Chains A and B, each alone.
Chain A
Amino acid sequence: MDREALKNKLIEVFPNASFSENKQFIILTTTSDKITEVVETLKNNIDFRFDYMFCITGEDWLNYFIITYHLRSTHLGHELVLKAKIENREKPEIETLSHLYSTAELNEREIFEMYGIHFLHHPDLRKLLLPDEWEGFPMRKDYYDPIHIVELE
């Protein structure tokens, strides 16, 4: 599906979601509580069929978190960036997508340990890369570690 058609279709299916665009992708932003239902639609709707999630990124924007999912449809060849905004910084939570995309399982574990975002109903939410006794969430922007991080000026 070409870009315009995809965009029109997306607006039709998600009338309340906010869209933006850059040169490469159409960006669909949603809130964290709607993520499962949005992704289910994106995956199962016959016009979208986003079956391949090739990148999952956590981002810390100081007063909220964003999780960015890059999706591609291997059948139809179109791509989409889905952003889930997590407002609650004190207790960040979002539903897991590991039942929809197996690749999400390890990626979500990584985001969990790096940003402290809890993925609800995740089958095995443990630290992945860091040692088990590690404290704090190192990829957060306010993380401070005078021993391991050397500030360069």
Chain B
Amino acid sequence: MKIEAIDTSETKEYFINMGPQHPSTHGVLRLLLTLEGEIIKNVEPHIGYVHRAIEKMCEKSSFQQIIHLTDRLDYLSCHMNNEAVCLAVEQGLEMDVPERVKVIRTIIDELNRISSHTLWWGVMGMDMGAITSFLYGFREHEMITEIFEETCGARLTMSYNVPGGLMFDIPPNFQKMVKDFLFHFKKKLPEYDTLLSNNIIFTERTKGIGYLSKENAIAFGVTGPSARASGFACDVRKLKPYSAYHKVNFKEIIFTEGDCFARYKARIDEMWESVSIIEQLIDNIPEGDYFVKTKAVIKLPVGEYYQSVESARGEFGVYIVSDNKKNPYRVKFRSPGFANLSALNKIAQGCKIADLVAIMSTLDLVIPDIDR
């Protein structure tokens, strides 16, 4: 019998589909991985599984209706998305909203950011195999959701903003609820560090993994905590303060490591900053109206209006082109997830499958935000 010599040094790449149904893609994201053993050679995102043509629908909707569509983009930072549209419309109408509205919007923004980050923290832990963190993260997320429910009736897709102000006034026990939450949360945040941040397995899994340079972060348009972990100062709250952000003192969390752990730490620290922002504002909500009366049919003057806000994932922008009709001529959402996803291939090359999971969770992708 003749045995053929097989050249074992020759390796072959193979493909694997991660998603659309996969536990760590957090939705219907499909990644086509080119692998060599466990090492990733290329990541090609295939998106669009939850594309709902929101931009097209906006062209047929009035400005008030658009707000409800933005909830469905990044559902974890729905209030920021609402606010971006409202600010853009208010900018077009040259309307000045009362101070009370600005302060309440800022407080809810930050609560929303905390709720998004707590959920992210839980999911991050779960992706790394520490399932317990998921439940812990959801516990705090749930408390904020209850505050939202008390405030505006909705738990997830709030639509609390309307052009000119807010849908309702805050409930009388709002301040107490928020303070109670903060009291609880400040005790629980160090617990987060105990469970994950200080765990040696976790730090081994994240430190030095998934490096994103500042140049690449800028080139790919990565924003939010993911970019600030690479040293790219892109906080819209600092660059172009909106609502009441010019009145509060807070630090822009910037790291220079650019790895998964820096992205993780940036979000944890951001939660502390959010707590401090809420604490500065919660006792100083000015009295006054909670909205400015607008016409039933809003028509923006001819022109284009761009408004960006800092959502939990990065810079969320709304670009409205108006032709003085009741519908916008063109609406474009600059979604942070879309840009963050585009950098995934760059970051993940040369990593292992397990690292890809860590990278994806630190980029904090929300798929409806990417697909729009």
Which residues of A line the B interface, CB within 8 A?
Answer: 22-25, 51-55, 57, 59-60, 68, 70, 74, 77, 81, 101-103, 105-107, 128-131, 138-139, 148-149, 151-152
Interface of A is mostly: loop
A130 with B48: CB separation less than 8 A? yes
A-binding segment of B4-12, B52-60, B350-358: B52-60
Over the window 313-353 of chain B, the binary record of Cβ atoms lying under 8 Å from chain A Cβ atoms (1 yes, 0 no) is 00101010100000001101010001101110010000000
A152 with B221: CB separation less than 8 A? no
Which of A22, A74, A131 gathers most chain B CB within 10 Å? Answer: A74
Range for the number of chain B residues in contact with chain A? 35 or more
Please judge, given known A-B contacts A57-B332, A152-B60, whether A23 and B48 are in contact too, CB under 8 Å: no
Is B303 an interface residue when CB atoms closer than 8 A count as contact? yes
Please judge, given known A-B contacts A68-B319, A102-B346, A130-B48, whether A52 and B221 are in contact too, CB under 8 Å: yes
- What is the CA–CA distance of A81 and B332 in the complex, to the nearest angstrom? 14
Contacts of A105 in B (CB 8 A): 342
Residue of A nearest to B336 (CB): A54
Whole-angstrom distance between the Cβ of B11 and the nearest chain A Cβ = 25
Whole-angstrom distance between the Cβ of B78 and the nearest chain A Cβ = 20
Contacts of A103 in B (CB 8 A): 219-221, 339, 342
Whole-angstrom distance between the Cβ of B348 and the nearest chain A Cβ = 14
A54 with B317: CB separation less than 8 A? yes
Top 4 closest pairs, chain A to chain B, by CB: A129-B48, A103-B221, A57-B332, A55-B334
- What is the CA–CA distance of A103 and B339 in the complex, to the nearest angstrom? 6
A102 with B319: CB separation less than 8 A? no
Contacts of B56 in A (CB 8 A): 138-139, 149
Is B218 an interface residue when CB atoms closer than 8 A count as contact? yes
Residue of A nearest to B51 (CB): A129
- What is the CA–CA distance of A152 and B58 in the complex, to the nearest angstrom? 12
Contacts of A22 in B (CB 8 A): 303-304
Is B306 an interface residue when CB atoms closer than 8 A count as contact? yes
Contacts of A70 in B (CB 8 A): 306, 317, 319, 334
Between A and B, how many residue pairs show CB distances below 8 Å? Answer: 82
Whole-angstrom distance between the Cβ of A7 and the nearest chain B Cβ = 18
Is B232 an interface residue when CB atoms closer than 8 A count as contact? yes
A55 with B306: CB separation less than 8 A? yes
- What is the CA–CA distance of A23 and B301 in the complex, to the nearest angstrom? 13
Residue pairs across A and B with Cβ atoms less than 8 A apart, 21 shown, are A23-B91, A24-B306, A54-B308, A54-B315, A54-B317, A54-B339, A55-B306, A55-B317, A59-B330, A68-B304, A74-B218, A81-B306, A101-B221, A102-B216, A102-B221, A102-B342, A102-B346, A103-B221, A130-B48, A139-B56, A151-B60
Interface residues of B in 207-245 (CB under 8 A from A): 216, 218-221, 223, 232-234, 239
Contacts of B71 in A (CB 8 A): none
- What is the CA–CA distance of A52 and B219 in the complex, to the nearest angstrom? 6
A74 with B342: CB separation less than 8 A? no
A129 with B319: CB separation less than 8 A? no
Residue of B nearest to A113 (CB): B48
Residue of A nearest to B215 (CB): A51
Is B182 an interface residue when CB atoms closer than 8 A count as contact? no
- What is the CA–CA distance of A139 and B51 in the complex, to the nearest angstrom? 13
Contacts of B306 in A (CB 8 A): 24-25, 55, 70, 81
B319 with A52: CB separation less than 8 A? no
Is B83 an interface residue when CB atoms closer than 8 A count as contact? no
Residue of A nearest to B53 (CB): A138
Contacts of A57 in B (CB 8 A): 319, 330, 332
Contacts of B304 in A (CB 8 A): 22, 68, 81
A-B contact sample (5 more), CB < 8 A, given A107-B338, A129-B371: A22-B304, A59-B329, A102-B221, A128-B47, A139-B56
Whole-angstrom distance between the Cβ of A116 and the nearest chain B Cβ = 15
B332 with A52: CB separation less than 8 A? no
- What is the CA–CA distance of A5 and B52 in the complex, to the nearest angstrom? 43
Contacts of B308 in A (CB 8 A): 54
Whole-angstrom distance between the Cβ of A95 and the nearest chain B Cβ = 18
Interface residues of B in 19-54 (CB under 8 A from A): 47-48, 51, 53
Whole-angstrom distance between the Cβ of A76 and the nearest chain B Cβ = 12
Contacts of A101 in B (CB 8 A): 219, 221
